[in-house]
Amino acid sequence: MLSDILSSETCAKCKNCCVFEEQSAWELPAFSVGAAARLADHPDYPMIEDNGRYRITLPYDETHTAKPCPFLDPDSGCTLPASEKPFACSIWPVRVMRDTDGMPHLALYQGCAGVPAAKHDALNRLLDNGLRDRIMAEAKADPSLILPFHPNYHFL
């Protein structure tokens, strides 16, 4: 969805969105009931119910090593067809987060190598050309997309 400004080559090298530190497990993708049922026999790791969605769980141990999403192929990236990819994954590194008044806004992950400050104007143009409205409409239909503010992000 952000392919106009985000190169797949940069993401293939980075993979930051698809590998999760234990403390970032809250960012693991969540699937609709239908998608979770269709994918039930794929992952090695179970999903748990989370506010009407199904979130991947990963087998963290005492080493607390970061783990990849089970749908990540180390060479080719996400193995899910676009129709099954969680909406939150399709808009990374953009999220919807609440401000201190509880109002949802778009927020950008500050550690994204693919959207440095030099690309922020291009990102804002993309958002202003309809993407912002589309994301906010999805968040209205699926409030699980709206997260508490996290300091690794900044509001757009």
CB-based contacts of 6: which residues, under 8 Å, 6+ apart? 114, 115
Q: Are the beta carbons of 76 and 18 closer than 8 angstroms?
A: no
Task: Tell which one of 11, 47, 58, 108 touches ligand SF4 (CB under 6 A).
Answer: 11
Among 54, 71, 87, 153, binds ligand SF4 (CB under 6 A): 71
CA dihedral 96→127→81→41, nearest 10 degrees, is 0
Give the residue with the Cβ less far from ligand SF4, 104 or 114.
114
Size of the site for ligand SF4 (CB under 6 A): 22
Instruction: Report the site for ligand SF4 in 38-67 (rule: CB under 6 A).
Output: none
Residue 119 host element (H or E): none
Q: Which residues pair with 16 in a beta bridge?
A: none
Give the one residue of 35, 47, 80, 131 binding ligand SF4; rule: CB under 6 A: 80
Nearest to ligand SF4 of 62, 115 (CB atom): 115
- Burial label, 139 (beta-carbon count in 10 A; 0-12, 13-18, 19+): buried
Strand partners, 104: 98
The smaller minimum CB distance to ligand SF4, of residues 6 and 96, is found at 6
Between CA 149 and CA 31 the distance in angstroms is 21
Stretch that binds ligand SF4, among 41-49, 78-86, 129-137, 145-153 (CB under 6 A): 78-86
- Binders of ligand SF4 among residues 85 to 114 (CB under 6 A) are 85-86, 89, 92-93, 112-114
Residues at the contact surface with ligand SF4, assessed by CB under 6 A: 6, 10-11, 14-18, 29, 69, 71-72, 78, 80, 85-86, 89, 92-93, 112-114
